[in-house]
Structure 1
Amino acid sequence: MISPFDHSPWDFWDRADPADHTAQRALQTDLMRAHPGWRFDDRCFVSDHSSVDNDDLTLGARTYVAAGAYLTGSLHAGSDCSINPYTVLRGRIVLGDGVRIGAHTSILGFNHTMSDPDLPVFRQPLTSRGIRVGDDVWIGSHVVILDGVTVGSHSVIAAGAVVTKDVPNGAIVAGNPARFLKWRIAPADPLPERIEEFGKRARASALAILERSWDASADLFTDRPGQATTVRAQCDAIEIADLLLGTAPPQLPAAEQVRRLRSWQDAETGAVAPLGKPHPDLNNPDVAYHVECVGYALDLLGSQFAHPVPALSGGTAAEVTAFLDGLPWESEAWTAGHWVDAVGTSLYWSRQRGDARDPAFAETLLGWLVSRADADTGVWGGGDLLQRVNGFYRASRGTFAQFGIPIPYPRAVVDTVLVHAEDETLFASAAQNACNVLDVAHPLWLARDAGHRAAEVTALARTLLGQAMDHWVDGEGFAFHPGSDGAAPGLQGTEMWLAIVWYLADLAGLSDRLGYRPRGIHQPEPAASLA
C-alpha cells in the first residue's frame, strides 16, 4: 500500500509513525546489505515504490527518493536533496547539497552513439561523460538535463527546460534549448578590470604592431611579416594607428600617406585596383572593398578621394534596382551583402564630395532593402545562417548603420543571430574568426534599442568578449583566425578584432573601460544623414 509519504516524503521523519520509521530503516539496511557499495546517511528516505537499480549509490543526510523515481548507474547525492515522484536519474550523476528536483524530470548522464549507419541505434555502444550539479540548485518539473552538462551552484532551471550546455553558478535558465534569463546570484564581475587592462595593453603594443608589418624596402605595410604589400594593409595600419595612438602611422608622414592613397584611385572609373594592377576590375570583390577601406583611411587622415567614386551598381535608381535584383541572394547572401556595402559606401563618398547622383538613388537602395527583408528572420536571402547573417552585417553596415536609419525587423534579427551564435563549429573559442564574430556583434548592437532578449544578448556578448581578449598577443595583435593551424597576428585581424572588442564591450555596458572608440570603417555613429 502506498502512503502519502511515498509521494511527499519531506516530513516523513517528523510526522510518520514510529513503526514506519522502523520499516524505513529496515528497508535501507536491506538495500545496503544487498548492495555493499551503497550508503545512506541519517534521515534519508527511499520509497519502496521507487525503482532503485544503481551500480553505485550514496544519499546524503535528509535526502529522499519518492515513489515512481527511476535510478540507475552511479549516483552520489549530497545532503538535503529531493528526488521527487517519477524523476529519472540515469548514468553517472553527482548532486551537491540542497539539490531539489521536481517531478517527472530526467537527468541522463549517458547517451547512445549512432556512428554506424548500418547498425540499429540500440546495438551501438553507449557513452557517458556524466552530469554534475552544484549546491543549492532548484530543478523544476519536466526538465531534461543531457549528458556532459555541469549545473553551477545556486542556479535555477525552470520547469520544462532542456539543458544541453553548462549552466553558470547563480544563473536562471529556461526554454528548449535552455537559455540564460537572469542572475539569481550575480557573480563577482572581473570583466571591467580585464577590459581596462586589455585597452592599456593594446595601446602599449600599437607601435610594435605597426613596425612589425612595415616593409621598409617598399615603404608600404604588409598584413604581417613575410606577406605581400596590399591596399588593405595600408588602410588597416591607418585604422589601428588612429584607434590606439590617435595619429597616422609614424612610418611615413601623414601627407605622404594621403598622397599615395589618392594616387591609387583610377581617374576614369574612380575605383582602386590591387597594388600592381594597372586598371581596377569593378567585378573584383577586393576593388569593392577598397571603396570602403581607402575612403575611410583618407577620411581618418583628413582627406577624401581625388576623383568621383564609382557607383558600382550604375548611377540611376533603375540601375541600382537591376543591380540588387541580380545579386546572388539565395546562393551567396554574404557576397550579395558585400556588394551592397560597397554600393552604400560609394553613395556616402559621392555625397561627401558633392558628386552628381540620381536623387532617387538612395531611396531606391534603402527601399529595396526594406521591402525585401524577411520579416521572420530580419535578414536577406537564402542559404545557411552563416551566409545570411554575415550578408546582413555587410549590407546593413553600408546602408542602415552608415546613414543612421533603423533596421527593418530588429527583434527578428536578434532571434536569428542568437540561433546562429549557438553553432559551436563557428563560435567555440578555437573555431572563431574575425568575420564571423564581427558579423554577430554588429547586428546585435544595431538591434539593441529594441531591448529584445537583452539578457541573452548581454550574456553572449560577455562570453565572446572574454574569448576575444584571450586571442590577443602583446606586441603582435590579433590573428584573423586565432585558433587555426599556423595562424599569425596581422593588421587585418588586429583591426577587426579591436572593433569587435569595442562592440561586444558596448553591448555589455563596459566600452568606456577600453579607452578607445572606433572612428573609421567600424565607427558606431552614423557617418552621415540622408536628410
Structure 2
Amino acid sequence: MLTGVDQEGVAEDSYFDYCPWDFAHRASSVQRAAQAVHQETLIAAGASLGPRCYVSPAAAVFAEVLRLGADSYIARYAYVTGEVRAGRDCSVNPYATVRGRVTLGDGARIGAHASLLGFNHGFAPDQPVHRQPLTSKGVVVGDDVWIGSNVVVLDGVTIGNHCVVGAGAVVTKDLAPWTIAAGNPARPLRDRRRHGASGVVTPEAELGDAVAEFAERARAQAHDVLARCWSDDTGRYGDRPGVSATVRAHCDAVEIADLLLGAPPGQLAAAEHAERLRALQDPVSGLVPELARGGGPGTLAAPARDGWIEDGTAEYHVLSVGYALELLDSRFAHPVHVVDEMTAGQLVARLDALPWRTQAWSAGAWVDCWATGAYRNREMSGGSSGGPGALEALFGWLGTRVDPWTGMWGEAPSPAAGRLQLVNGYYRLTRGSFAQFGLPVPYAERVVDTVLAHARDPRWFAAGRQNACNVLDVAHPLWLAGRQTRHREDEARAWAKEQLMPALGRWHDGAGFGFGPAGEGGSGPGREPGLQGTEMWLAIIWLLADLVGVADRLGYRPRGVHRPEPVRSPMFTTPHPGRS
C-alpha cells in the first residue's frame, strides 16, 4: 500500500500536498470541495486561478499578484511572494521558493527546494544590509522548462524556451532556448535538440551544428572576403578580383559586413561608405545609374512618355543602395522622383503593359522597384508617394489580377518553359510589395502548391544546377506563405533540408560564395565566388535554416534587401500574420 493512501485507495489530504499532480484524477468529492474553498479565499485576495489548479493549504502564498494557468499547482511548503504569473501546466514543487517578479511560461516545472528570486538587496557599505532598498528586474522562465531540485535563479535572468537546468545549479546569466545547463555558476552544456528519445543525435541537431559551424567560419573570414574585392586604386568594390567596380558590389559589401560582422566594411568609415553611395544618385530622376568607366556617377537614358526610365540595373539600385544606406544609418539624398511623379493612371497603364506572360521575372522586378521607391519616398517625406492614390492603385491592381489557381501573377508560357519565370517573378513582386509593407499574400495555399511543383524541376534544382537566384526565389515564397498557412509545411521543410547542407558546402574559404551555374537557364556572375553570390547565399541560408527551424544557430538575421521583417509605414499598419 502506498503511504498516504487508505485501505480503500483514497488518498489522504497530505498526499496531495506533496503529489499535487494526482489531485485532478484521485481526489474525493470532499477533498475537491475543500480545495475549492481554499481557492475562493485566494481569489478573494486577488489571485487568478485557471481550471484544475491545485494550491496546497500548507503552502505559504503571500503574493501581491498570483496568476496560475490551467492545470498548474503549488505544492506543500512552497514559499510564494511578490508578483508571480504562470502559464498552463506549471508546477511549484515542495519547498520551492518563488519570490519577487517571476513569470513562468507554459509547462514550466520548478523542482523541490529550488529558488527563483526575482528581487535583490542592495549592499552598499553605508548602511546595514537589512536597511538597504530592494530592487527587482524580475525572472522570466520560458515554455517547456525544467528547473531541477535545489536550483537557484537570480534576479534579472531569463531562461529561454525548452531549457533544462540541472539540480543544484546557480543561474546568474540568461540561458538561450534549448540549453541544457548545470553548475555553479550555471554553464551551457549542450543543445537539448541534439538527442532524440533514443539518445541518437537527431538530424535537426546535426543541421543546427552544421549551420553554427558554418556561421563561425564565415565570420572569421569575412574581412578577407571583403578585402579581396576592394581596389585601392579605384577606391571601389568589384564583385570579384579583376572585374570592374559596380554599385551593387559596394552595396553587397555593406550587407555582408552587417550580416557577419555587425559593422560597416573596414575599408572605409560608415560615413564615407554612405557618402559615396549617396553621391551616385541622379538628382533629377532619383535613380542610381551604374558607375561610369572612371568610377564616377553614370548617366541614364531619356525618360519614356510616362516619365519612367528603362534601366534594369538602375531599378535594382533602388533596392540595393537604399537598403545599404539604411544599414549605414543614412538614406537617399533625393526622392526617387520617377516613382513620386507617376500618377495612379500611369501606374496602372504600365502594370497592364508589363510582359507578364513571357517575362514574369522582369514584370515582378519592376513592381519591386516601384514599390521600394514608394517606400523610400514615404520614409523621407512621412507622407504619400506617387500621385494621389498611386500606392493604393498598385495593391488594388495586384489584388484583382492575381491568378487564384496559382496565387501568382502571369502564367507559365508552356510546359516546356516550366514555371521559372512565374515563380521568380513572384518572389520579386511580393518582396517589394506584400512582404515589404507587411501585408498578407493572396491565396497562400496555392502559392505553396505552385512553388513546390516548380522546386521539383530538375533543370533548376538537380544537384549542381542551382544558382542563388533560383533557390532564393523558392525559399522566400515558401517562407512568406508559411507565415500565413501550414499547408504542406512538412514538404516545404523537407525541401529546405535538402537544399541547406549543399548550400553550406558551396562556401570557398577566404572568398565566399559563387552565385552559381551560368549555363542553361542560368544568370548572374557564375560559379566564381564574389560579393553578389556571398550576399545572396547568406540570406538564402538564413531562409532555409528558418524553414527547418535552426536559424537561431546562425547568429545573424538579414536586415537589408532580404530582411524578413516588413518596413514600418504610416499607411499600412496591418501586422504580418504568422509565426515569430
Structure 1 length-normalised TM: 0.63
Which of residues 249, 258, 271 in structure 1 aligns to 2:265?
Answer: 249
Specify the code of the residue in structure 2 equivalent to 1:366: F
Task: Note the 1:277-316 alignment, pairs <5 A.
Answer: 278-281=298-301, 282-312=309-339, 314-316=341-343
Contact conserved, 2:340 with 2:374, CA < 8 A, in 1?
no
- Which segment is superposed worse, 469-478 or 436-445? 469-478
In the TM superposition, 1:440-455 aligns within 5 A as: 440-449=474-483, 450-455=485-490
Offset at residue 317 of structure 1 (A): 1.3
Describe the superposition over 1:54-111 as per-residue Cα deviations: whole angstroms up to 9, x where unpaired. Answer: xxxxxxxxxxxxxxxxxxxxxxxxxxxxxxxxxxxxxxxxxxxxxxxxxxxxxxxxxx
Cα deviation, residue 247, structure 1: 0.6
Instruction: Tell me what 2:346 maps to.
Output: 319
AA in 2 matched with 1:236: D
Distance 2:517 2:222 in 1: 19
Q: TM-score, normalised by structure 2?
A: 0.58
Matched with 2:449 is 415
Give 2:528's aligned residue.
488
Contact 1:337 1:395 survives alignment (8 Å): yes
Which consecutive residues of structure 2, in runs of 5 or more, have no partner in the other structure? 1-195, 302-308, 520-524, 574-580
Matched AA of 2:255: E
Pairs within 5 Å for 1:355-366:
357=385, 358-366=387-395
Amino acid at match of 1:498: L
Aligned to 1:500: 540
1:405 corresponds to 2:439: yes
Report what 1:271 is aligned to. 287
User: After the TM superposition, which residues 337-486 of structure 1 pair with which residues of structure 2 at under 5 Å, given as runs?
Assistant: 337-354=364-381, 357=385, 358-382=387-411, 383=413, 384-449=418-483, 450-481=485-516
Which of 497, 506, 511 is matched with 2:551 structurally? 511
8 Å CA contact retained: 1:432, 1:483: no
Matches within 5 A, 1:83-232: 188-189=202-203, 190-232=206-248
1:331 pairs with 351, 355, 358, which one? 358
Conserved? CA contact 2:514–2:526, under 8 Å = no
CA distance in 2, matches of 1:432, 1:447: 22
Cross-structure match for 1:166: none
- Three-state SS of the structure 1 residue aligned to 2:337 is coil
Mark the runs of 5 or more structure 1 residues left unpaired by the alignment.
Answer: 1-182
Q: Percent identity?
A: 52
Other structure's SS at 1:287 match: helix
Identify if the C-alpha distance between structure 1 residues 187 and 245 changes in structure 2 by more than 3 Å, giving closer, same or farther. closer
The answer as to whether partners of 1:471 and 1:482 remain within 8 angstroms in 2 is: no
On the 8 A contact 1:223/1:490 being kept in 2, the answer is: yes
- After superposition, give the CA deviation of every residue in 1:126-185 in whole Å (9 maximum; x if it has no partner): xxxxxxxxxxxxxxxxxxxxxxxxxxxxxxxxxxxxxxxxxxxxxxxxxxxxxxxxx9x9
Letter in 1 for 2:214: F
Letter in 1 for 2:505: D
C-alpha separation between the residues in 2 aligned to 1:259 and 1:395? Answer: 29
Matched AA of 1:376 = W
User: Alpha-carbon deviation of 1:486?
Assistant: 7.3
Give the corresponding residue for 1:161.
none
Shift of 1:371: 1.0
Per the alignment, residue 62 of structure 2 pairs with none
CA deviation after TM superposition for structure 1 residue 528, in Å: 2.2
Residue 483 of structure 1 deviates from its aligned partner by 8.4
RMSD: 2.1
Deviation at 1:320, TM superposition (A): 1.1
1:482: Cα distance to partner?
5.5
* Residue identity matched to 2:290: P
Q: Is the 8 A contact 2:278 2:333 kept in 1?
A: yes
Report the residue type matching 1:440 in the other structure: V
- Tell me, yes or no, if the aligned pair for 1:340 and 1:395 is still in contact at 8 Å: yes
- In structure 2, the residue matched to 1:528 is 568
Q: 368-377 or 497-506, which moves further after superposition?
A: 368-377
Post-superposition Cα deviations, 1:398-454, rounded to whole Å, max 9, x if no partner, equal 000000000001100000000000011101230000000000000000011300001
Q: CA deviation at 1:311?
A: 3.7
1:193 alignment partner, SS class: helix
Give the distance between the partners of 1:428 and 1:243, measured in 2 at CA. Answer: 29
TM superposition outliers: structure 1 runs of 4+ over 6 Å: 483-486
Asked whether the equivalents of residues 441 and 500 of structure 1 are also in contact (C-alpha less than 8 Å), the reply is yes
- Shift of the alpha carbon at 1:323? 1.2
Q: Is the 8 A contact 1:431 1:483 kept in 2?
A: no
> In the TM superposition, what whole-angstrom CA distance separates every residue of 1:236-289 from its partner, at most 9, and x where no partner exists?
000000111011111011111111111101111111111016422320100100
2:514 is aligned with what amino acid?
A
The CA deviation at 1:314 is: 5.0
Count of aligned pairs:
349
Give 1:299 deviation, angstroms: 0.5
Deviations 1:383-404 (A, max 9, x none): 2300000000000000000000
2 CA distance for matches of 1:365 and 1:486?
34
Counterpart residue identity of residue 261, structure 1: L
Inter-CA distance 417–356: structure 2 relative to 1 (3 Å threshold): closer
What is the CA deviation profile of residues 18-75 of structure 1, one whole-angstrom value per residue up to 9, with x for unaligned ones?
xxxxxxxxxxxxxxxxxxxxxxxxxxxxxxxxxxxxxxxxxxxxxxxxxxxxxxxxxx
SS of 1:429's equivalent? coil
Look up the match of 1:159: none
Alignment partner of 2:464: what SS?
helix
